Structure 1
Amino acid sequence: MTTSPVAQFWSEFRVNRVAVVALAIVVIIIAVSFVAPWITPQNPYDMASLRLSDARRPPGFVSPGTGMTHWLGTDGQGRDVLSAILYGLRVSIEIGLAAGVIAFSLGVTLGTFAAYLGGRIEALIMRFIDLQLSFPAILLALVLAAVLGQGKWQLVAALVTAQYAYFARTAHGAASTERSKDYVEAALSTPLKPHVVVLRHILPNCMPPLIVVATVQVANSIALEATLSFLGLGLPVNEPSLGMLIANGFQYLLSGRYWISIYPGIALIVLISAINLVGDQVRDQLNPRLRR
C-alpha cells in the first residue's frame, strides 16, 4: 500500500512528542485567539465598558460593579488582562502570518528568478540582498516603522522589508543547485516558457528549505512586531498586540503589580517557543543530514 507524502511526513512528525505538543499548543492558541470576541468576558478596547475603579486589580479579583471575575487581574485602565491577551494574540498572529506570507512570496520570486536568469541580473539582485542581510532585521524594522508610522499595514510593510531577504537568499541557493541539474536542461530544451520551467520544475524542488525558513520567520515576525509595539513604534492604542500589553504594565513591575506585563509576556514566549519547536522538527525531517 502506497503512503502519501503527507501521511509519511505526519508519521515521522508524531514520533517527536515534544513537537506534537508544540503543534497542539499553536493550533489551540490560534483557535482561541480568533474566537476571542465570542469567549472573552470583556472587549478590552471598548472604552465604554472599562471601569477605572477596577484598574490594577490582582488576579482573581471580582468587580463589584459588573460581577466579572478577572482571572488574570486588570491593567492600568481597568482592562481584563485575560481578554486583552486573547485579543492581542489575534493581532500578533495576523501580523506575523501576513508579513510571513508576503515576505515569502517576494523573497522566493526574487531569489528563484535571479538563479534562473544568472549573469548581471543575478549579481545585481543578490548583491543587494547581501547588503540588506548585513544589517540586523530589528534595526531595519525600527527605521522603517519610524518612517512609515503606526498602523497594521505599515507594520507589515516594515516586517516584510526586514525579512524577505532571508527567503531570497535561501531560494537562490536552492534554485541555483536545481538549475544545474539535467531535468531542468531537459525542460529548457522543450518549447516551455521560462516562467513555466521555474514554477513547475525548479520551485517545487526548492520548497523543503523554504518551508523551514518560513516557519522560523513567522515566529521572528511575531517577536519583531512585539518588540516594535513595546517600543511604541508598532500598532496604535486601539489595535492592541502582546508587545503593547507588556509595555503597558512595565511601569508597574517595581510596584508589585507583575501580572500586567508578566502574563502577556508568558503568552508571547509560549507562542514563539511552540512555533520554533515545530519548525525544528520540520527542519529535521526535511533535511536528511539532521535527522535523529
Structure 2
Amino acid sequence: MSGFWREYAENRIALLALLVVAVLVGAALGAPWIAPQDPYDLAGLDLMDARRPPGHVGSGGYVHLLGTDAQGRDLFSAILYGLRISLQMGLVAGAVAMSIGALLGILAAQAGGWVETAIMRVVDLQLSFPAILLALVLVAVLGQGKTQLVIALVAAQYAYFARTAYGAASAERRKDYVEAAAATPLSTARIVLRHVLPNVMPPLIVVGTVQVANAISLEATLSFLGLGLPPTEPSLGMLIANGFQYMMSGRTWISVYPGIALIVLIIAINLVGDQLRDQTNPRLRR
C-alpha cells in the first residue's frame, strides 16, 4: 500500500482530485453542522428571501453566500445537502451494481456452458441499450423515491461490472494457481472466494470508481428531468432545474453554483478512477 500510495502521489493532478473528493465528501457528511439552514425544512423557508443574489442577508439573520433559489432556500445549504444525496445515490447504486455484476460475471466464467451463454447474452443485450433510456423507463414505471431510483441506477449499470468480472475471471481461471487449487479437495465456492475474487477486484474497483461518477451524473439527469427524487429532497440535478427558468432573467446563480458543484465532483472522481486504472493496468504503467 505504501508503494501504491507513493506512485499515486506522483501524479499531482490525481492527488488534487483525491483531495477535492475528500473535501466534498467531508462537506456533505458535515452538512447538518456546516449548513446555516436545513433546506428540507419547508416550514423554515421564507418566500421573502426567494431569488436573492449572493451576499444577501436573509430574514434568518445570516448571509446567503451563494444566494437563494425560487423557494427561498439558501443555495450553499442546498448544495451541501444535494451533495449528500448525490454521493449516497452514487455509492449505494455503485456498490449494489458491483455486487450483482461481479456475482454474475464470475458465475458465468466459472460455470461455462449454457449458464455462461445465458448470462453473457443478457449482459450484451443490456449494454446495447443507452443507460439513460433504461433508467428513464424504469423510473417512469417504478415511480419516484430513493429505493426506486437506486433500482433504476443498478439496472442501468450492473452489466458493466458483469462484463469486467467475466473477462477478469475467465483469464484467472486458466492460470496455474487456480488449476492447482482445483486439484486439491477444495470446494468451488472456496476457490472462487479465496483465489479468484481477490484477483478480480482491482479492475472492478477501477470500473466502480468510474461508475459511481456515472451514477451521480445519471441521477442528476433524472432529477433535472423531474423523474428523480421528490421535490422535498432536492438533489443537485433538481437544484439546477429549479433555476433553469430564471437563466434569461439574470438570476444565473440558482443553476450555476449547483452545476459547478456537480461538475467538480464528477471530474474529480473520474480523475481518481483514471489514476487507479493506470496503476492497476500493467500495459499502461510507465
1:251 CA drift (Å): 0.6
Paired with 2:204 and 2:184, the residues of 1 have a C-alpha distance of 28
Is residue 2:39 matched to residue 1:44?
Answer: yes
1:203 CA drift (Å): 1.1
Contact persistence 1:113–1:198 (CA under 8 A): no
1:291 CA drift (Å): 2.1
Cα RMSD of the aligned pairs, angstroms, is: 0.8
Paired with 1:76 and 1:239, the residues of 2 have a C-alpha distance of 15
2:170 maps to: 176
Q: Which runs of 5+ in 1 are unaligned?
A: 1-5
Identity of aligned pairs, percent? Answer: 70
Q: 2:72 aligns with which of 75, 78, 82?
A: 78
What's the TM-score once normalised by structure 1's chain length? Answer: 0.97
Tell me the secondary structure at the aligned position of residue 266 of structure 1.
helix
1:3 maps to: none
The one-letter amino acid paired with 1:255 is: S
- Give the 5 Å matches for 1:90-239: 90-239=84-233
Paired with 1:81 and 1:184, the residues of 2 have a C-alpha distance of 55
Paired with 1:40 and 1:48, the residues of 2 have a C-alpha distance of 17
1:66 CA drift (Å): 2.2
Is residue 2:271 matched to residue 1:283?
Answer: no
Paired with 1:82 and 1:200, the residues of 2 have a C-alpha distance of 46
Is residue 2:18 matched to residue 1:23?
Answer: yes
The one-letter amino acid paired with 1:22 is: A
The one-letter amino acid paired with 1:149 is: G
Paired with 1:155 and 1:275, the residues of 2 have a C-alpha distance of 21
Tell me the secondary structure at the aligned position of residue 85 of structure 1.
helix
1:230 CA drift (Å): 0.5
Q: Which runs of 5+ in 2 are unaligned?
A: none
The one-letter amino acid paired with 1:275 is: I
Paired with 2:111 and 2:34, the residues of 1 have a C-alpha distance of 52
The one-letter amino acid paired with 1:209 is: P
Is residue 2:1 matched to residue 1:10?
Answer: no
Q: Deviations over 1:71-127 (max 9, x none)?
A: 100000111000000000001100100000000000000000110010111001001
Paired with 1:110 and 1:224, the residues of 2 have a C-alpha distance of 23
Paired with 1:291 and 1:275, the residues of 2 have a C-alpha distance of 20
Moved more, 200-209 or 271-280: 200-209
Q: Deviations over 1:145-201 (max 9, x none)?
A: 111100001100000000000000000001001111111111111111111111111
Contact persistence 1:52–1:78 (CA under 8 A): yes
Paired with 1:229 and 1:280, the residues of 2 have a C-alpha distance of 27
What's the TM-score once normalised by structure 2's chain length? Answer: 0.99
Contact persistence 1:115–1:172 (CA under 8 A): yes
Contact persistence 1:103–1:164 (CA under 8 A): yes
Detail structure 1 runs of 4+ shifted over 6 Å in the superposition: none
| Number of aligned residue pairs | 286
Q: 1:259 aligns with which of 253, 258, 275?
A: 253
Paired with 1:51 and 1:239, the residues of 2 have a C-alpha distance of 17
1:47 CA drift (Å): 1.2
Q: 2:53 aligns with which of 37, 52, 58?
A: 58
